[in-house]
Chain A
Amino acid sequence: MMQFMLLFSRQGKLRLQKWYVPLSDKEKKKITRELVQTVLARKPKMCSFLEWRDLKIVYKRYASLYFCCATEGQDNELITLEIIHRYVELLDKYFGSVCELDIIFNFEKAYFILDEFLLGGEAQETSKKNVLKAIEQADLLQENIDFQTSLFAAPS
């Protein structure tokens, strides 16, 4: 199971954090700080896996963003890399050639996409098409309801 996923920039700014284990805000901040420091200190050619506390950290850099996942002892590191890659592909398809700014200005969408792909720290849907379809439908639902509400809103 994935315990948490962090997205951060080369300067160490957090762009997304998804936690699947209960931790206090203080603990989360501490973990984030330490892990970001550790990962940023790695040289470019180094291994994508490292052991940190009792977790296996799998990270990959896409352009200016680091995608970093913390998995448990039994988890397959190579498939976690594939999970990260799949998430990037989903973002890319949704935003059309995604870049860091897309994730900054539309962070809630990034979360919604993540929540359609992973659930409770595990992959819930293995077909890219199905994930994107679900997001599309949910977005439509949001728009329709908003549209309807605005149409039928009582005149103020």
Chain B
Amino acid sequence: MSPSVPLQEMIRAIRSARTQCEERGVIQRECAAIRAQFRQNDNGSRSHNLAKLLYVHMLGYPAHFGQMECVRMIASPRYSEKRVGYLGAMMLLDEKQDASLLITNSIKNDLSHSNQYIQSLALCTLACMGSAEMCRDLAPEIDRLLRSANSYIKKKAALCAVHIVRKVQDLGELFVSAARSLLSEKNHGVLHGAVVLITELCERNPETLERFRKTVPDLVQIMKGLVISGYSPDHDVAGVSDPFLQVRILRLLRVLGRNNETASDAMNDLLAQVATNTDSTKTVGNAVLYETVLTVLDIKSESGLRVLAVNILGRFLLNNDRNIRYIAMTSLQKIVVTDHNAVQRHRGTIVDCLKDQDASVKRRALELSLALVSASNIRSMMKELLVFLSSCPLELKAQAASGIFIAAERYAPSQRWHIDTILHVLTTAGGDVRDETVPNLIQLITNTSELHCYTVHKLYRALLEDISQQSLVQVACWCIGEYGDLLLRGECQETEPVQVTEDDVLDALETVLQSHMSSPATRGFALTATMKLSTRISDNVDRIRSIVSIYGSCIDLELQQRAVEYNALFKKYDHMRAAVLERMPVIQRNSSGQNSEDEELVLAQQPVCDLLDLLSGPQEPLQPSLAPAQPISTTTALMLDRFYIWTQKGFILEHNLDSGLLATLTASNSSDSDISSFTLQAAVPKVRLSVFVSELEQIMRNIKDGSIGVDGLSLNLFLILKYEITGINREGASTPNSLFLSFFKSGHDVLHLRSFIF
């Protein structure tokens, strides 16, 4: 091959430039020369010039003046010029440029050229940067090429068709029959292209998917051939025969087998065979195994096969190759909800991965570990998670902290453990926790009255050690303000009491007030705490009075206001001071707007039914502040016939299932005020509804003729409620995936309706 000398000389010249400025100089000179030569239409070195321009473009310099030259070169009859012209088109032109339309005609002509290499250039360019209009124009040509006798062209045409379908979905119809017949090809390249095309067609059109389901036996046959056949030198990669094709076929099988029993059954044996026979010592074998696992987990496979798949993932977790471990955890994350027990078996390995060096692996391990926390392993898991928290990278700290809080809240074996855990998190990662942690913790402490003494002792000690973690300091100040008397009493059952004097306590609070590390909010906490102590201590009330009056002239407006008000409390309203600064009562849990009287709604795992949230709009996915950002856990579903969806001060929305197939929602108002502007909207997902109706009809037919089919199906119900009472507008919306109406076949002849709430 003759090297493009002018090109290589230019490259050498550019590379030998010592400074950026010098390089720019060389490039400007070259570009000027190239521009001049484009104008001249110099025949001999047109392709060299364009190649030079493309090099310059890759370095980041502007090259738009080459666009028209590309168009001209593509139209040239010389192969060398066409080649560089098409390359230039792919680099400089994209569908957003107007010039790209100018090459449509050239491409059209070249697609029917007698020379396959020229046809190939056109196909490659169309598949790389063809716009929607170009695709529409040239689709019939591509369909014709799909039926040609030339394998070299057919395989490229198949991938070109894939691009066309991605750009203009409707054109998919055009390629269906050609794609079908391509499956009987022997040429691997063509087969590969055909499988990619069919996958694309099926993913975009459910009817096409139905049609191609019939090809499952053929695909199984092809796969068997690849897996069992002997060594084929052309396609062998480290002992695996054509892994690229195998992976694509497995992916197509996944698409075809999803939600379909018959198709899934047909591929069961094959998947088991691939899973057991593929050599897993090299990456390429693992690539095939990985795709197999993904397919098994996504289709309706039998349980034995699923177990096999999860075990493969478990083996991956122990692999030395970090990439494989990462892949395994990503896949386990997807199935941790549905196959929870299977994944639990590998908990030890997953927890070990928390100590891995790689941040991506750590992140995956953290997500999985949090998903695997359960009531039985909470203590050991929490130990590991807390160790992780103290040494984890910064970007994971917030996620780890909130995950720990959620887990602690759900599965805390005792109140004291819960408080200890939260305190531990605050001391190690107090700066990275979310804002709502402080009020939540305060609420938790208030409600655990028997541990007030213990808590305030621990917090006091923590405060003495370190006042830089704002969340911790805020909670500590609040506690000392509330329970300072317990601290001073000097006796505690749960922990060793600390001997403090009133001065010590006030010193601590003043340190917080004066420290430059304290945020304005923290100082507010400290000031209020100091004030509260005035009713809980006996000797140093004067000191408190002087602290408070100093802050009456503080620059911070919030502090100043507080100080002035507290001052007034001392001076004019001293008789009220004791009452105002009294111990706080037990706080109602208000994150989900439910009153605690509704015993019927108290679910097994969650303390409140967060079906409707108080003041958020219907569009937001509602998450009470400590709700897990995880897939729904099937263990917290309750099947109830009668339950309250919403109660608020006497207004009740009730859900009732009669013996028939009727679910009734009843709203009633037992308060003194009137309700007005009442609206209730119920909705189901539109996409789901048409499928639901046809599936329901199928079930009815199964009942009629006694055949076995699907056992049941459910519909996700969304509710939006609005009304006005005593001039206040109230509204609420159900959380997504929280209320399901399910139809069940019982025996073979009766249809029931049940409601599930999560």
By a beta-carbon cutoff of 8 Å, the part of chain A in contact with chain B is: 1, 14-20, 22-24, 29, 43, 45-51, 74, 76-79, 81-83, 86, 104-109, 111-112, 115, 119-120, 122-130, 134, 137-139, 141-143, 145-146, 149
Contact A119 B360 (CB under 8 A): no
Specify which of A29, A78, A125 is in contact with B283 (CB 8 Å cutoff): A78
Given contacts A14-B58, A78-B327, contact A123 B283 (CB under 8 A): no
User: What chain A residues lie within 8 Å of B489 (beta carbons)?
Assistant: none
A66 to chain B, nearest CB (A): 15
A12 to chain B, nearest CB (A): 11
In Å, the complex CA distance between A124 and B287 comes to: 18
User: What chain B residues lie within 8 Å of A127 (beta carbons)?
Assistant: 188-189, 234-235
Ordered by A's residue number, 7 sampled pairs between the chains whose C-beta atoms are within 8 Å are: A47-B361, A74-B251, A107-B58, A123-B244, A126-B245, A128-B234, A145-B80
In Å, the complex CA distance between A117 and B90 comes to: 16
A54 to chain B, nearest CB (A): 15
Contact B83 A112 (CB under 8 A): yes
The verdict on B60 contacting chain A, using a C-beta distance below 8 Å, is yes
A51 to chain B, nearest CB (A): 7
User: What chain B residues lie within 8 Å of A130 (beta carbons)?
Assistant: 189, 234
Within 8 A of A (CB), among B398-429: none
In Å, the complex CA distance between A46 and B325 comes to: 12
Contact A45 B286 (CB under 8 A): no
In Å, the complex CA distance between A108 and B84 comes to: 8
B298 to chain A, nearest CB (A): 11
Q: Is the interface of B mostly helix, strand, loop or mixed?
A: helix
Query: Closest residue of chain A to B117, judged by CB?
Result: A138
Specify which of A20, A22, A47, A82 is in contact with B244 (CB 8 Å cutoff): A82
Specify which of B115, B129, B243, B322 is in contact with A46 (CB 8 Å cutoff): B322
B124 to chain A, nearest CB (A): 5
B302 to chain A, nearest CB (A): 24
Contact B96 A22 (CB under 8 A): yes
User: What chain A residues lie within 8 Å of B235 (beta carbons)?
Assistant: 126-127
Contact A24 B189 (CB under 8 A): no
Contact B160 A119 (CB under 8 A): yes
Specify which of B58, B166, B193, B294 is in contact with A124 (CB 8 Å cutoff): B193
B652 to chain A, nearest CB (A): 44
Specify which of A45, A105, A137 is in contact with B357 (CB 8 Å cutoff): A45
Specify which of B2, B60, B152, B242 is in contact with A134 (CB 8 Å cutoff): B152
Q: Contact string, B32-73, partner A, CB cutoff 8 A, digits 1/0? A: 000000000000000000010011001110000000000000
The verdict on B367 contacting chain A, using a C-beta distance below 8 Å, is no
The verdict on B323 contacting chain A, using a C-beta distance below 8 Å, is yes
In Å, the complex CA distance between A46 and B321 comes to: 10
In Å, the complex CA distance between A19 and B90 comes to: 8
In Å, the complex CA distance between A54 and B159 comes to: 24
Given contacts A22-B94, A122-B159, contact A76 B124 (CB under 8 A): no
The verdict on B95 contacting chain A, using a C-beta distance below 8 Å, is yes
Query: Closest residue of chain A to B115, judged by CB?
Result: A141
Contact B287 A78 (CB under 8 A): yes
In Å, the complex CA distance between A34 and B242 comes to: 35
Query: Closest residue of chain A to B127, judged by CB?
Result: A120
Specify which of A24, A51, A78, A112 is in contact with B323 (CB 8 Å cutoff): A78
Contact B189 A126 (CB under 8 A): yes
User: What chain A residues lie within 8 Å of B156 (beta carbons)?
Assistant: 119, 124
Contact B55 A119 (CB under 8 A): no
By a beta-carbon cutoff of 8 Å, the part of chain B in contact with chain A is: 1-4, 7-8, 11, 15, 51, 54-55, 58-60, 78-80, 83-84, 87, 90, 94-96, 115, 117, 120, 123-124, 127-129, 131, 152, 155-156, 159-160, 162-163, 166, 188-189, 192-193, 196, 234-235, 237, 242-245, 247, 251, 283-284, 286-287, 290-291, 294, 322-324, 326-327, 357-361
Contact A105 B11 (CB under 8 A): yes
Contact A45 B189 (CB under 8 A): no
Contact B287 A76 (CB under 8 A): yes
Given contacts A126-B188, A129-B234, contact A83 B244 (CB under 8 A): yes
Contact A119 B322 (CB under 8 A): no
User: What chain A residues lie within 8 Å of B159 (beta carbons)?
Assistant: 119-120, 122, 124
User: What chain B residues lie within 8 Å of A16 (beta carbons)?
Assistant: 58
Specify which of A78, A137, A143 is in contact with B290 (CB 8 Å cutoff): A78
Given contacts A82-B284, A127-B188, contact A47 B152 (CB under 8 A): no
Given contacts A46-B357, A74-B251, A108-B54, contact A142 B80 (CB under 8 A): yes
Contact B287 A79 (CB under 8 A): yes
User: What chain B residues lie within 8 Å of A108 (beta carbons)?
Assistant: 4, 7, 51, 54, 84, 87
Given contacts A126-B244, A127-B234, contact A115 B124 (CB under 8 A): yes
Contact B326 A47 (CB under 8 A): yes
User: What chain B residues lie within 8 Å of A105 (beta carbons)?
Assistant: 3, 8, 11
In Å, the complex CA distance between A138 and B86 comes to: 14
Contact B155 A124 (CB under 8 A): yes
Contact B287 A82 (CB under 8 A): yes
Given contacts A106-B3, A145-B79, contact A120 B327 (CB under 8 A): no
Contact A47 B290 (CB under 8 A): no
A100 to chain B, nearest CB (A): 12
Query: Closest residue of chain B to A120, judged by CB?
Result: B127
Query: Closest residue of chain A to B80, judged by CB?
Result: A142
In Å, the complex CA distance between A41 and B79 comes to: 43
In Å, the complex CA distance between A48 and B80 comes to: 38
In Å, the complex CA distance between A45 and B360 comes to: 12
In Å, the complex CA distance between A122 and B358 comes to: 29
In Å, the complex CA distance between A25 and B216 comes to: 43
User: What chain A residues lie within 8 Å of B247 (beta carbons)?
Assistant: 76, 79
Query: Closest residue of chain A to B60, judged by CB?
Result: A29
B208 to chain A, nearest CB (A): 17
A112 to chain B, nearest CB (A): 7
In Å, the complex CA distance between A79 and B59 comes to: 30
In Å, the complex CA distance between A112 and B121 comes to: 10
User: What chain A residues lie within 8 Å of B189 (beta carbons)?
Assistant: 124-127, 130
In Å, the complex CA distance between A128 and B242 comes to: 11
Query: Closest residue of chain B to A14, judged by CB?
Result: B58
Contact A47 B11 (CB under 8 A): no
Specify which of B127, B192, B323 is in contact with A47 (CB 8 Å cutoff): B323
